[in-house]
Amino acid sequence: MKKILLLLADGFEALEASMFTDVFGWNKWEGDGSTEIVTVGFHKKLKCTWNLTIIPEKTISEIDVEEFDALAIPGGFEEADFYNDAFDERFLEIINKSGILTNRNATTYSHPTSHRIEQLRTFGAIVQNMPIVQDGHLITSSNPASGFDVAFLLLEKLTSEKNVKRVKELMGFEI
């Protein structure tokens, strides 16, 4: 079974996380059953951007990153303290272990009032101004609107195009 680490920082956007939990949940029960998503955070309770509180399945101290086949990180708002966790050394260590950003094409939130593009460059990424960017096994997106597409792309990388079509159909997406 392929395991996906859904890494959650306080202040994450619930919508962005729920797309992954739903797509991979549907796959586990109605698709080919070959994936499991595990929600992980620093705290036993996490507050989302819009004040929804969730309880992750595990805390970072309870996992071994090497057990996972994929990493998904929903974005969040600075005003909701997202970057307190997201820039914590332990959080960054998980990202850095995968070595995913250095000299890789990537995208991030690109609204004109945001300074996230410059932050992404500091991680060594080659920033692309597109909603979704794929560079090898790395998939990045620029906003919540692209979340389902990213979740389905990851599911396809871990399973098959045929399986993704089945899950999409069951979830009511036009295929």
Tell me the per-residue pLDDT of 147-170, one tens digit each, with 9 for 90 and over. Answer: 999 999 999 999 999 999 999 999
How high does pLDDT run on average in the chain? 92
109 Cβ neighbours under 8 A, 6+ residues apart:
75, 116, 142, 143
Write out residues in the chain with pLDDT < 50, as ranges: none
Identify the H or E element spanning 29: helix 14-29
Q: DSSP per residue over 62-119, as a string?
A: G--GGG-SEEE---B-GGGTHHHHHTSHHHHHHHHHHT-STT-EE-----TT--HHHH
What CA–CA distance (Å, rounded) separates 175 from 123? Answer: 36
The structural domains of the chain, ordered by start, are 2-99+146-171 (3.40.50.880)
CA–CA dist 157, 104 (Å, integer): 18
Residue 77 identity (one-letter amino acid): F
Q: What pLDDT is attached to residue 98?
A: 65
Can you give the pLDDT at residue 99? 66
pLDDT of residue 112: 72
Say if residues 8 and 39 touch (Cβ distance below 8 Å). yes
Q: Taking the model in full, what pTM does it have? A: 0.91
